[in-house]
Amino acid sequence: MREFERSGPRADGAAVVWAGLEDGPALVVVDPAGAAKHDLPPTWHKLTDRFQVAWCRTPASSLEELEDVLETLSERDVRATLVASGEACQVAIAMARQFTHIVASVLLVDPVDGDTASLSGTGVEVRVVALSHAGPSDRVEAPLPLGHPEVVDGVVAALAGTT
């Protein structure tokens, strides 16, 4: 599995930002863009009243720190949903394979070709919840930032079972 590059302006800040409930289901966000240096993007705040959110800023963290988050949730017997975009999709699927006992689903945003491989036989669902729109109306290059409203809407819909 690849390591993330830990340099550049997005590498500063906390490796993992926690928000929301202390106990309850978890959303573990694997963010290759390194947003949420100190707090979640405002679009995610509406999820913190129902979930604990661990925003893993991969430019500032290592895979071991992501594993630590999942091990902590495992020790507390907390169910988790992983959310990832672009190059982090492959990592999220690999982590889901390792933690099938707590991971309920993996929600992907603009996955790289081949990253939508299923986790058949594990009980873990893999879904694409948001995609960039190719064409002149697309003002944001793929992958969509995880704080983008379309991403949050896709996550909310998937969690509600309506996508």
For the chain, domain boundaries: 9-160
pLDDT at 143: 85
pLDDT at 114: 63
Chain-centre distance of CA 89, in angstroms?
8
pLDDT confidence of residue 112 = 84
pLDDT number for residue 117: 64
Alpha helices in 23-148 (DSSP H): 63-75, 88-98
Task: Write down the CATH number for the domain with range 9-160.
Answer: 3.40.50.1820
Model confidence, pTM: 0.86
pLDDT at 4: 42
Angle between helices 63-75 and 88-98 (to 10 degrees): 40
Q: Are 19 and 131 in contact (CB under 8 A)?
A: no
How much is the pLDDT for 20?
94
Query: In terms of C-beta density within 10 A (0-12 exposed, 13-18 middle, 19 or more buried), how is residue 28 classed?
Result: buried
Average pLDDT, the chain: 84
Which stretches of the chain score pLDDT less than 50? 1-10, 163
In 43-144 the beta strands, taken as DSSP E runs, fall at 52-57, 80-85, 103-109, 125-130
